[in-house]
Structure 1
Amino acid sequence: MTVNRVQPPLEVVLTDVNAKVVEAWRAAFADTPGITIRKGSILDTTVDAWVSPTNARGLMNGGVDAVIKRHLGAGIQLRVQRAIRDEFGGRLPVGSAVCVPSGATNPKFLISTPTMEQSSQNVSETLNVALACAAAFQAIHRQNNAAPGSIGSVALVGMGAQTGRVPARVCANLMWTGHTLFNDHCFDDYDDLRNTIVAQLDDIEKAPAEERVRITPPRRATARR
């Protein structure tokens, strides 16, 4: 069972160049404290960690991944792929994430979490955004449990909204689900996280587009204190 230390509230910055995504965030996160929403590049945020939507191999050759690789240098892809190899045998499942030192002072860490198996895959009919967002926040739990206070702020873009072609409002609502799950619980492993989300969101396509879904983890999940 994971032992969770008391952590200060996480500062979350949601930032994207897509105005529709920003507008959808403002609706989905309207009553959520600790959230800053802005229109602009993730490169312009000053936080401890950036979250980059990636693919299963950690190939940073498209979308936000490519922007971040150009900014941080080619070495960041090597660190991400090494972590994927060491922790997941070379292929990162959707609903998992790796957190690596960025080699820079801003941000100190890069969290890579796949929204798709392959580059430019259409994931608009999947739960991948919720899985990826929840996994990114789970990676923050893991990092802070290992080194308390190392990530106190994080920036995320609209996950799957660009190359994954997920509609802005769906993207925002699924990201809200992932963030809310982070505030409530820390899972022992990514398998538990994936199984819990899939079990409860499997029929989400029947829900209205504006509806947000809060996940209720099973008892084996550890409540955040």
Structure 2
Amino acid sequence: MTVNTPLRVVLTDINPKVVEAWRAAFADHPEIEIRKGSILDEQVDAWVTPTNSRGRMDGGVDAVIKRHLGAGIQLRVQRAIRDEFAGRLPIGSAVCVSSGAINPKFLISTPTMEASVENVSATLNVALACAAGFQAIHRQNRDKPGSITSVALVGMGAQTGSVPARVCANLMWTGYTLFNDYSFDDYDELRATIIAQLDDIENAPADKRVRIARPARKR
């Protein structure tokens, strides 16, 4: 099903290399707002935070958001992971929970790594996480239309995941353009689609951007 969602998207990070890489990768998407700064300053409906599979908010942006929103946010994230994924959130999945605050109203947690600190620079985790974050927005708006009309994301995997800025930006571009075209029935379908088409991306140049095409449905 093709989806056209009027979603305001903000990319913000304190790392100037990530911001510069975003500007190059998203040059043909003037609708994307890109700026250097903290996600805490963004007035949007949802923040997307890169996390680990257990939802332990003890490092990177996760820890910053936990300090800002309070310890209860980790409990809500981990409860959602337990209820929806039996306690372990797979790469390429996400949970969307109430933040307990006015801004943002929702926090979307999507893992870029299994553990709290892990080098994921040679993986597709950033593309999977970014796409899963947008899939969570689709799901939330499907259940409660108009819940999320604006979202802010940081450079996924670029800090504790050791992903180079250009690779991070290009994989996030892949996740964003996939969201722009499709909503998936479930996270398994999303993961399978990305992995099948990006499996050999490690052999591509660092500045290569890959647009995912959704496979034709079997009749």
Alignment check: 8 A CA contact 1:99 1:112 kept: yes
Moved over 4 A (4+): none
Question: Is residue 2:93 matched to residue 1:96?
Answer: yes
Partner of 1:199: 196
Residues of 2 paired with 1:112 and 1:76: CA distance?
A: 11
Q: Which runs of no fewer than 5 residues in structure 2 stay unpaired?
A: none
Residues of 2 paired with 1:211 and 1:47: CA distance?
A: 30
Residues of 2 paired with 1:162 and 1:202: CA distance?
A: 23
Q: How does 1:134-153 map to 2 (within 5 A)?
A: 134-153=131-150
Please give the secondary structure, in 2, of the residue aligned with 1:142: helix
Please give the secondary structure, in 1, of the residue aligned with 2:61: helix
Question: How large is the RMSD of aligned CA atoms in angstroms?
Answer: 1.4
Partner of 1:58: 55
Q: Counterpart amino acid of 1:200?
A: Q
Partner of 2:164: 167
Partner of 2:28: 31
Query: In the comparison of the two structures, how many residue pairs are matched?
Result: 218
Q: Counterpart amino acid of 1:102?
A: S
Residue 156 of structure 1, CA deviation: 0.3
Identity of aligned residues (%): 80
Residue 8 of structure 1, CA deviation: 4.4
Partner of 1:215: 212
Alignment check: 8 A CA contact 2:17 2:165 kept: yes
Residues of 2 paired with 1:203 and 1:112: CA distance?
A: 27
Question: Is residue 2:74 matched to residue 1:72?
Answer: no
Alignment check: 8 A CA contact 2:4 2:180 kept: no
Alignment TM-score, normalising by the size of structure 1: 0.94
Please give the secondary structure, in 2, of the residue aligned with 1:186: coil
Alignment TM-score, normalising by the size of structure 2: 0.97
Residues of 1 paired with 2:9 and 2:199: CA distance?
A: 27
Residues of 2 paired with 1:78 and 1:172: CA distance?
A: 30
Aligned pair partner of 1:130 in 112, 127, 131: 127
Q: Which runs of no fewer than 5 residues in structure 1 stay unpaired?
A: none
Alignment check: 8 A CA contact 2:5 2:180 kept: no
